[in-house]
Structures are given as structure tokens and as C-alpha cells.
Structure 1
Amino acid sequence: MADEIAYEYKTVRTVRGADGLVISKMRKDGWELAGQAQSGLRTTLDFRRPKKPLPRFLIGAAVGGLVLLATVIGVAAALENGSEKEGRSSKPPAGTASAVPSATSTPTAAASASPEVITDQNNPELAALLKTPDNCDRANVDFAAKYRGRTIAFDGSIVRMSPHGDYKTRYDFLLGPGDQGPRTGVGPAFRYEDKSALDLNLSGRSSPSAVRVGDLFRFVAEVGEYNADQCLFFLDPVSTASR
């Protein structure tokens, strides 16, 4: 039917507790949640969104291309019947094939333009945030609003970790910039909520088998929301390298 909506679909698998962040991020890109299923600590999310209609100028170009192709085929047949050289009749297909690389070069260029990881070396706002003396400072709100969904990296330590609810292997981690652990007195109160040690994606030459308060790491994480009432800056771990 002409008015029927055509959809494209995507399935995303994530760990429990991070599904809300994934759903929010996908909705920003126009996806809607079509289904959700949990299996142990994993959540499978099914999304869909309407396919974009083909622009009219592209439809016209496609029709024009078909007409041109038919013309080329007709000319080639005429030349062949007229006993022309085989080399001359082969030129139109060669010209048609040469257009393929130029059409496929655009996705490659777009893929190479992915946003870089934000650090205190390439972003003055993050550098200032990590040195803010008050974790309730307005700078937290502004940074979270501007860079939500982006990836940051910083040297820090575990300030505190406590069991999440009744779980024995899942924790709420409080992180701070620098090397002071529980004595951290500057910067945001970064929080990983409802995470296990596996969720931290530990790496590095001396990657520990367990984590504890005071451990030093290079944290790479996705920026989440800032809770002004609790003065907590939520992050989602990407990788955690020991220092």
C-alpha cells in the first residue's frame, strides 16, 4: 500500500543497568523501542525507525540512468551489427563501472570522522572540570548537558564502592580524578551505578583480578546525566586500565 510505513530494524545487546542509557541514545537518532528481553545480566533491545523516502532528485537521476543505459546498449548493438571494432563497443560499460568507486567513497569518509575521545589535554572544559573544588558546581551541569553521549578519559581512583541493593557482586562505584582515593577533594563525584568488575572492562599490563577502594586507573567512559540533587555525575564504563 502507498501509505504503509516501511521500517528498518536494529538489535542492541547490553548489560543490565545500561539499557536506559542505550534507549536514550538510540531515541536521539530516531529509533523507537520495539521489544526488550532479559537473560541473566544481559538485555536485548530491539529498535525500529521509519525508512527515509528516496529524494525525488535521486529518483529522477535513477530513471535518467536507466534511459541512458538503454541508449548505450542500443548504440553498442548497432555498432556490433555494423561490424565495428570490438574495442569501441566495450567503452560504454567501462565508463559506467568507473562511477561505482566515487559513489562508495562517501561512507568511508564519514566513518573516519568519528568524534575523538575527550581528555584534559584536548578539551579545556574537561581539564577545568577535573579541578573544580566543589562537586556540586554548576560546571558539572553544563558539561553533562553539552557532552552527554560523548566519551571522556581521565586518570582517577576509586573513592568508594558499595554493594548495589542486595547484590554481592554488583556495586555502585564512586570515582574521583587524581590519585587520592577516599581522600579525593576536588573534581566531580563520578558514579558507575550497578556495575560488576566485568562491566569495568579491565585492561593493562598489570590488570588486577579484583578492584578495591584506592586503586588507580585510567578511566574511559561515556558521559551520562548529572543529578544536581545528589551532586553525582553518572558515567557508563567503556574501559578501565590500571596505572
Structure 2
Amino acid sequence: MSDDIKYEYKSVQTMRGLENRSIAKTQKEGAWELVGQTQGTLRTTLNFRRVKPETLLSKAWDVFRGLGPGKQRAVAAAVAVILLLSAVGIGIAASHSKGDTSAENTVATSTKSGTVNETPTRSSTPTPSGKIDQVITAENNKELAALLKVGDYCDASMAQFAARYQDQKIEFDGSIANMQKHEKYDTRYDILLGPGDAGPNTGVGPAFKYDNVNMFDLNLTGTNPPSYVSEGDKFRFTAKVGTYNPKQCLFFLTPISTRLR
């Protein structure tokens, strides 16, 4: 019986450190089972499969394949006749519809008596609440509070928040989810941050990223600040909002200060 099971497959690429979140996200989309993964320097390829869902068409095809050659020819001929009759019916209906539309257009043109001048409504882009130099926190901004709790790090709210608050300062409690040496420099790093204290197991909020930074860029502060950071370390991050990459689902930030908690 197991030999008759048909599967469909898909591969998902994700950044190093986001494997758990990508697996959970894909599995939520519909019974996908992780069957393997290939880890690269910066990205990991996740391979999934799931039982291929049966459709009416696939069931009909299986029945058709089980018929003898003579019955297959008879069924094919009947289907061809049905398709021909359907095409003729559609053509006749389209012809009538075109005639009715032409008549309606003629009546509309003849009854038009003047031109109405309307003043177009000017659209405006909403401006962020507060001053540009205000530090945005979950306590003073509902949008950031909601963003830090979103379950899907590819959610549309990421791009909306980045566009609305670009170059403004945000501050939040978080931890380092992943840390990799930059591909070109030994003393610079690509660092993934997550809201909360879960570190590599972070499952909510954006996938914040510091791209190509060194330890001095982090501006480590607090009582006895460390000279180096590692995965799982907990900090109060202050950063400037950058851009959001929807293909990678990465939310870029520029570090301002990193205070040990």
C-alpha cells in the first residue's frame, strides 16, 4: 500500500539561524514533512515532502487508465463531443453578449448631456506618530508592540513598519539568535536578533539583522559590558530602522547601542 503513495516536493532556502522558524512556517502551510537539509556558509536549503492531494481530475485519470483500450477510445470520443458542443455554446453566448453591450453603449452615449468636473482627492502618505528623534519602544508605540509578537517573520506588517518608520530609532529587549563571520572579513559579523530571551529558539517577531558589523559598531554598554557577544546573549537593543527584504524575510537594522541585561 505504501508503494502507491504519491508525494510532492519543495525546497526552501533560509538564512543560517532561521532554520527552526522556516521549518515551522512551512509545516503550517500544509502538512509538509522535513526530509533533509543542506547547510551552506550563509544559507540552509530545507527539503520537504507531503502526500500529494488527490483531485477529481487525478481520480478520473486513474479510472480512465484502468479501462481497456476500446473503452478508452469511446470515452475520449465522448469527451471530444462534449468539448465541441461547449465551445459552440460559448461562442453563441459571447455573440449575444456583444450585441447587448453595443446597444447599452449607444443608449449611454445618446443620453449624456454634459461633463461633470470633479476635484481629485489628494492622497497623502501617513506620517509616523511622534518626532523623528523619538526612540520608539513597545511601551509607547502599539505598532512596534504588535510587530514584536508576530508569529510569521515573513508577515506583511514587516514591510509596512519598515517603510513607515525608516531611519527612526527603536528600542527593545532581545537576544542574539545567530551569529556568523562575514564572508569577506574575519573580524566582522552578520548577526540575527530576535525579540525576547529565546536566542536561537526565537519563534516570534521579525528576523532582525545587523549586517557586516564589528564589536565596536554594537556600542556595548551597561554594568561590566562584555568585549564580545555570542548566540543566546540577552541585551536591550537600540537601533535605527533600515529596510525589509521580503525575499529573505530579513528586517535590517543599524546598531546604535547594545546594553547588557
Which TM-score band (shorter chain)?
0.5 to 0.7
1:127 alignment partner in structure 2:
145
* Counterpart AA for 2:157: A
Structure 1 position 236 matched with structure 2 position 254: yes
Residue 115 of structure 1 and its aligned partner are, at CA, apart by 2.8
User: How far, CA to CA, are the matches of 2:136 and 2:237 in structure 1?
Assistant: 12
2:245 alignment partner in structure 1:
227
Give the secondary-structure state (helix, strand or coil) at the position aligned to 1:143: helix
* Counterpart AA for 2:196: G
Question: 1:91-110 CA deviation, whole Å, 9 max, x = no partner?
Answer: xxxxxxxxxxxxxxxxxxxx
Give the secondary-structure state (helix, strand or coil) at the position aligned to 2:136: coil
1:80 alignment partner in structure 2:
none
Question: 1:39-84 CA deviation, whole Å, 9 max, x = no partner?
Answer: xxxxxxxxxxxxxxxxxxxxxxxxxxxxxxxxxxxxxxxxxxxxxx
Provide TM-score, normalisation by structure 2.
0.49
User: How far, CA to CA, are the matches of 1:148 and 1:213 in structure 2?
Assistant: 27
Structure 2 residue aligned with 1:207, among 225, 236, 241? 225
The aligned length equals: 131
Structure 1 residue aligned with 2:155, among 121, 126, 137? 137
Structure 1 residue aligned with 2:212, among 163, 188, 194? 194
Structure 1 position 173 matched with structure 2 position 191: yes
Matches within 5 A, 1:62-211: 115-211=133-229
Question: 1:188-207 CA deviation, whole Å, 9 max, x = no partner?
Answer: 00000000011000000131
User: How far, CA to CA, are the matches of 2:242 and 2:227 in structure 1?
Assistant: 27
Q: Which runs of 5+ in 2 are unaligned?
A: 1-130
User: How far, CA to CA, are the matches of 2:133 and 2:252 in structure 1?
Assistant: 20
User: How far, CA to CA, are the matches of 1:165 and 1:171 in structure 2?
Assistant: 8
User: How far, CA to CA, are the matches of 2:184 and 2:134 in structure 1?
Assistant: 38
Residue 116 of structure 1 and its aligned partner are, at CA, apart by 1.2
User: How far, CA to CA, are the matches of 1:192 and 1:223 in structure 2?
Assistant: 11
Give the secondary-structure state (helix, strand or coil) at the position aligned to 1:212: coil
Larger-Rg structure: 2
Give the secondary-structure state (helix, strand or coil) at the position aligned to 2:133: coil
User: How far, CA to CA, are the matches of 1:144 and 1:209 in structure 2?
Assistant: 30
RMSD: 1.0
Give the secondary-structure state (helix, strand or coil) at the position aligned to 2:159: helix
- Kindly indicate whether the alpha-carbon contact (under 8 Å) linking 2:132 and 2:168 is maintained by their aligned counterparts in 1: no
Provide TM-score, normalisation by structure 1.
0.53
